[in-house]
Amino acid sequence: MLNIILFGPPGSGKGTQSEKLIAKYGLKHLSTGDLLRTEIAAQTPLGIEAKAMMDKGLLVPDEVVIGMISSALEANPEANGFLFDGFPRTEAQSVALDGLLELKETQIALVLSLEVSEEELVKRLLNRGLTSGRSDDTNEQVIRARIVEYHNKTSVVADYYRKFDKVNNIKGEGTVDEIFALLCNEVDKYVS
Ligand code: ADP
């Protein structure tokens, strides 16, 4: 199995690059943001609880996203590998993911970390807010709160995987195709 974490702050291009990576390498895309938005659209109790946090730019509780990922892994026993997008976002989520993958006798192959400057992130997210229909992208305060959550809670995820020498930093500014080529370069090095 080839299991990859696509890592980076909100607006770093994880969603865009995920689509291209799953197509090229035949992976199953697991985006906790997408899974949560599906729950919100269906107005499930989980979705209603998560929306309150997401609208403030805060992370939803670890148990909630870990439970969703655990179910998604179980629901896809035939997958060649998984691309994790927006997960793990805390050290507790990283530890839980390692445990879940160990049960499947597999592990994270590599972490691809997209590096983008803060001003560029805010610009991209406000721009995405014009068309995405995502309420968390229209308010600059909420965007800044998400970036603060990223620095406080999520950036440690890279430190966690750095201990296992799994992290590759990728410049996330440039054209979509330029960035995709840099990502593929790292995956191909791992695969070969
Ligand atoms: P972005 O990274 O562009 O902000 P996402 O779609 O990945 O967008 O996430 C949107 C929101 O969903 C986050 O701000 C957070 O509230 C919630 N969320 C997504 N993934 C997680 C996670 N792994 N842990 C906690 N909260 C999450």
Residue 11: partners with Cβ closer than 8 Å, 6 or more residues away: 116, 120, 121, 122, 124, 125, 128, 143
3 state SS of 77: coil
Q: How confident is the model at residue 22, as a pLDDT?
A: 98
Q: Is 13 in the pocket of ligand 1 (CB under 6 A)?
A: no
Q: Is 35 in the pocket of ligand 1 (CB under 6 A)?
A: no
Query: Is 155 exposed, middle or buried, given 0-12, 13-18 or 19+ CB atoms closer than 10 A?
Result: middle
Q: Could you read off the pLDDT of 28-64 as tens digits, one per residue?
A: 999 999 999 999 999 999 999 999 999 999 999 999 9
CA 163 to centroid of ligand 1, rounded, Å = 24
Residue 164: partners with Cβ closer than 8 Å, 6 or more residues away: 108
Q: Is 33 in the pocket of ligand 1 (CB under 6 A)?
A: yes
Q: Which ligand 1 atom lies nearest to the CA of residue 149?
A: 14
- Token pair 């014009």 is at which residue? 130
Q: How confident is the model at residue 31, as a pLDDT?
A: 98
Q: Is 8 in the pocket of ligand 1 (CB under 6 A)?
A: no
Q: Is 66 in the pocket of ligand 1 (CB under 6 A)?
A: no
**What mean pLDDT comes out for the span 142-151?**
96
Q: Could you read off the pLDDT of 105-141 as tens digits, one per residue?
A: 999 999 999 999 999 999 999 999 999 999 899 999 9
CA atoms within 13 A on the CB side of 185: 10
Q: Could you read off the pLDDT of 76-87 as tens digits, one per residue?
A: 999 999 999 999
Looking at the DSSP bridge assignments, the partners of residue 31 are: 85
Looking at the DSSP bridge assignments, the partners of residue 167 are: 111
- Tokens representing 4 are 């990859």
CA 87 to centroid of ligand 1, rounded, Å = 8
Full-model pTM: 0.95
Give the separation between CA 185 and CA 6, rounded to whole angstroms.
Answer: 14
What average pLDDT is seen over the chain? 97
Three-class HEC string of 153-192:
HHHHHHHHHHCCCCEEEEECCCCHHHHHHHHHHHHHHHHC
Give the separation between CA 176 and CA 165, rounded to whole angstroms.
Answer: 26
Q: Which ligand 1 atom lies nearest to the CA of residue 9?
A: 2
Q: Which of 14, 37, 51, 166 is catalytic?
A: 14
Domain spans, the chain: 2-27+79-190
Please indicate whether residue 162 is annotated as part of the active site: no
Task: Tell me which architecture the domain covering 2-27+79-190 has in CATH.
Answer: 3-Layer(aba) Sandwich (3.40)
Give the separation between CA 55 and CA 47, rounded to whole angstroms.
Answer: 12
**What mean pLDDT comes out for the span 93-110?**
97
